[in-house]
Amino acid sequence: MTFELDDDDLHEEAPPQPPLYLLTGLILGLLVGIFIARVVSPLQYVDTAPATLAESYKTAYRLLIAQAYQANGNLERARQRLYLLDGDQAKDILSRQAQQWLATGNNLNAARALAQLAADLEQPNPSTPPISAPTLEMGAISTPPLSTLDLHQAIATPTPSPSPTLTPTPWPTFTPRPSPTPNTAVQSPFKLIEQRPLCEPGVPQGLLQVFVSDRNGQPLAGVPIVLLWSSGQNVFYTGLYPAISPGYADAFLEPDTVYDVRAGDFGETVRSLQAPQCKTPDGQTFIGGWRLEFSQP
């Protein structure tokens, strides 16, 4: 038995093919759209929020905020700017940036400004006094009394009243803007008041804890701690760990290295400091740390 297919059956079985010009038009339209969006009329951000900035620009903006705070002492303005930039994590991010810059030696003055701002954000009163707004002294306008005419002159010959003469108003006198007052407490010499080894369980090996306070016992942030040894030195600052204390700073000592430690640019130096050998109750030895406390005399 044989079957014959006519031409109508063959046309029904073959699936229709899409026109190639539709696919070509779609590809060309996509390419033209990309070219317009990237080259002819690219997207531009205008007056965008600080939180949408790239991380490199955020890093630079935090430094600008810290330097502006050094100049004007306006802690509340700096707090608001940081909140717009990093939200509730502003203080933690600011402290981490200061720590990273100090660890890499990247512009110590800038890192110190970041550390000072991070420490003052934890305190009710800023360490830098606010700058008072300039006052204006305006000269008063004095008007001489008008000349008076007797009754006869007023009736016989009406004479126009003389125009009043005005005393020229002087230009406003501005009070000079005071320059930022340096923190004299940070620049004062410090004296060692306590030194004791840290042999408690759980203390990291070779941990050096430094606490700095003023003569009233208040912790001081932004104080440089100079760590010297035979082949180099390290400078780190108080105030990077405000959760512990604004006057706290730490570093790690190598077991076989002898150090000299000084708080501030000048003052008493703790010499020949080395990581101590500690013992557990069962007689095992381990490397401990040191706690140093400096204060103004």
Tokens 């400078």 correspond to 235
Distance (Å, rounded) from C-alpha 61 to C-alpha 114? 11
Q: What is the pTM of this model?
A: 0.48
Residue 60 main-chain phi, psi, to 5 deg? -65, -35
pLDDT at 14: 56
- Cβ proximity of 193 and 293 under 8 Å: yes
CATH numeric code, 184-295: 2.60.40.1120
pLDDT at 179: 42
Give residue-wise pLDDT tens across range 182-221: 455 555 689 999 999 999 878 889 999 999 999 999 998 8
- Chain centroid, CA 219 distance in Å: 21
Give residue-wise pLDDT tens across range 211-256: 999 999 999 888 889 999 998 888 888 887 877 888 999 999 998 8
Residue 290 pLDDT more than 90?
yes
Residue spans of the domains in the chain: they are 50-120, 184-295
- Give the model's confidence band at 273: pLDDT under 50 very low, under 70 low, under 90 confident, else very high: very high
pLDDT at 104: 64
For the chain, the C-alpha Rg in angstroms (whole number) is 38
